[in-house]
Structure 1
């Protein structure tokens, strides 16, 4: 059972209007976006057995609250149109809840760790972009609450129309993605910013999913030892008191038009972004069953040291989210890890970041309605947070526009298809090359290595043939059996397709990597 709404009536009323006994979770506030072309659940709390009527446009739906006060209706699929009011009225309530300026369009969740959380004002040219951030049909919602081991049923946030003031602290990647979609589709776009810097993938996964597989036993055992040393019940009680005081002060600030107080935090491992299931319970479940179009995701840096485990963990997370929403295989697009740390021109002994990228590519190959934006050309050697978020957002937008919306644009980066070896030459065939492969700097292809049966890699001379094949040779490897491309934390690579999308890093071998045994 989920815990009760975090947001009490008095607080919600300052956002969604007058005080009333019937109430909505915070995903339903002024300026929100309802997903078009799909059934759209609306739910909330009321008195037990209270009759609730929901009106939106020409639709009217009714429900009766159960013994706990929970109620739910489902709007019929909605079409684009002018913003409207969502009116929710309880038979025992003093006044209806009226949510104003409700748009109908597409809703995307923007989740992950710090590179997704990175704000627009701190991105490259972010302050320039903010001058044009007044966008009435781009709506933003930030989710910021602490982690929890028990499922919560509400978030702490409110929708805002994009303006220079509201957009500056929003995800830069999400913003650029949303702007491109809004301009291309000419439809309202709602973005739910739901990222936490440094978060581990396992924090976004339900515990039941982790407990069912031995792969995660060492991880869960480490956390169990940590948990045994901390009085969590006392900490939760202390934090609940802080939250109650915060909600009261915030309600008063809203009513008086004063600056809002800062939400309290709890500096403890049990509340953080690493503990398994913490963010799934606190930041994913409260958003279900709110209808969405899809998810964009940027995460993996924290899990690079356990890249082989990520091969199972990341798809497991995606499938658990899809199951929780109950919308089928909604689109799920992510950013492959960028290049980072000192550049490496030749072969390397091992690379956890290369292995994490490989795990991400495996997910793209195994999951339906999923894909990755390759940014092996966008990173910065000395900063794990590359400031160029515009191109990251645009590459994600390419995926959505081409794959989800069916527009005629190249969406996927070129990727490895097959290997053939003959007369000492290794020839790799590349799929999805558009009008053909090329090097961005006009020189020979760089970043390829080959190995023989000794499993020792050497730099290879490469030549592009017929736009989709790369022929590789090395005087040090007379009989190659394996090829790698871009296999380093920060490889020197230069192969792109005709749309300017970089070739996806790959390897043809399956020899054990440096994270193979990490748990």
Structure 2
């Protein structure tokens, strides 16, 4: 009898403890990509997913459409038929409970990725120049047809993750303050032209090389990238022991009533290794994979500038990886890194070659978008957004407009002349503010000297008195190219060389 009484008491004590966990499992919860104020991608099958109690039926309703699915292994996913642009709509998600999401728009979603020049916020940011006219930009940033989704920067994940802890917000002076400036200006310029709602996903982190954003398993399939994987795996083998030593030092100091700030900082720095070799792909890109998007804008490369040759493989591999992740040939629009005193021309060339070789990509040239300080983080993010939006309008939305400056195509040599041909000549080639600058020419000896470039229709003739039999031409081939070769649409030519290695 006594045993039964104690058993009853034990059960009564255990049940309340279990109830919150059971209730949490039973409650319907959509993924955080589905919140009020979201933009959902138009004109495509639209998955909606989340968690709930095992075996339950979940029903999602929006815009007169309804779809249901059964919970398996705690997960559910329904697939809605393509939705037309518009809104606002209300979405209901029903199971053991009902969730109501309001102010949902249907339009186009763009992913904004990269490092600090994409991560740079509209508002002030320490250690970086302010965005040009940022106070005025913030005051005028109320755009209810643009919505913002900022993925929190994480230390990285060794394995692919399923969720990001954030939510959608309306684009206004408050919310855009901490949002990607380049991404915001892109959306601000694009939305009035396409006349549908625009959703912007900010998923980037300053100072990160491209390999942080590329799946490690994919990287391992490229011989040129194998060294990155090998170095990462060697470092990860040492990680547990190093972390344990630092954690023990922190705990010992705490037990003595002290704070070991040196060990705390060292552990925080050590943990950043998790970002490497796909760590940020796992944590900040993979969780988005089922959420349909229109395309990607990307601003990165500064942290790979000392490995430009490798970047010729790494960057195209990243583009393919993301396209494979979304299972669609995503438009991938990226920004050539800005002129800077320690960032040589080789990385810009790697980006240029990617544009030329990888279909459905575009490179925005911003050599004219820097001030006299030539800071690594130019404040003119308005120009960055405008150039990307212009390309999107032409490539994705099929507007018949010129969207690029002159793009080097070929060279032929005739006597003492090098005759260069270009695509994207627009309504004609031009030099801004005087004769063309930035050109050099060499013979077979490879000694480059300043050259005279003359516009002849949609071609250039390049010569130098000292070079009687030219073999190669270069344009803007230095750390800080700031030259004056444009088309009449006001778009600058990318730096290039005819003697690509």
TM superposition score normalised by structure 2: 0.87
Cα shift at 1:233: 11
Could you say which residue in structure 1 is the equivalent of 2:386? 394
Structure 1 pair 134/82, CA: closer, same or farther in 2 (3 Å)? same
2:75 aligned to which of 47, 70, 76: 70
Partner residue in 2 for 1:84: 89
Over aligned residues, Cα RMSD in angstroms?
A: 2.2
- Is residue 375 of structure 2 the alignment partner of residue 383 of structure 1? yes
Superposition deviation, residue 21 in structure 1: 1.1
The answer to which of 123-132 and 270-279 deviates more is 270-279
8 Å contact kept, 2:339–2:482: no
User: Equivalents in 2 of 1:291, 1:474: separation in Å?
Assistant: 53
In the other structure, the counterpart of 2:278 is 277
Equivalent position of 1:334 in the other structure: 334
Report the counterpart of residue 491 of structure 1 in structure 2: 481
Does the CA-based 8 Å contact 1:336-1:360 persist in structure 2? yes
Larger % of helix: which?
2
Counterpart in the other structure of 2:449: 458
Match of 2:168 in 1: 159
Conserved 8 A contact 1:52-1:62: yes
Cα deviation 1:29-77 (Å, max 9, x = unaligned): 11000011111111111122221111111111011111x2111111111
CA contact (8 A) 2:157 2:274 kept: no
Aligned equivalent of 1:260: none
8 Å contact from structure 2 (residues 32, 167) kept in 1: yes
Looking at CA atoms only, which structure, 1 or 2, has the larger radius of gyration?
Answer: 2
Asked if 1:136 corresponds to 2:136, the answer is: no
- Decide which of 360, 371, 374 is 1:369's aligned counterpart: 360
Residue 497 of structure 2 corresponds to 507
Match of 2:55 in 1: 49
SS in 2 for 1:103: strand
Conserved 8 A contact 1:207-1:277 = yes
CA deviations on 1:139-182 (whole Å, 9 max, x unpaired) are: 00111131111100011211100111101111111111001111
1:283 positional shift: 0.6
Aligned with 1:363: secondary structure?
Answer: helix
Q: Secondary structure at the match of 2:352?
A: helix
Deviation at 1:272, TM superposition (A): 5.3
Give me the TM-score of the superposition, normalised by structure 1: 0.84
Which runs of no fewer than 5 residues in structure 1 stay unpaired? 1-9, 239-264, 342-350, 512-519
Quickly say closer, same or farther: Cα 1:219–1:377, change in 2 above 3 A. Answer: same
CA contact (8 A) 2:153 2:204 kept: no
- TM-superposed CA distance for 1:309, in Å, is 0.6
For residues 132 and 311 of structure 1, what CA distance do their matches in structure 2 show?
Answer: 40
Is the Cα contact below 8 Å between 1:271 and 1:278 reproduced in 2? Answer: no
Map 1:270-309 → 2, pairs under 5 A: 270-271=271-272, 275-309=276-310
Deviation at 1:335, TM superposition (A): 0.3
SS of the equivalent of 2:30 reads: coil
Runs of 4+ in structure 1 over 4 Å off: 232-235
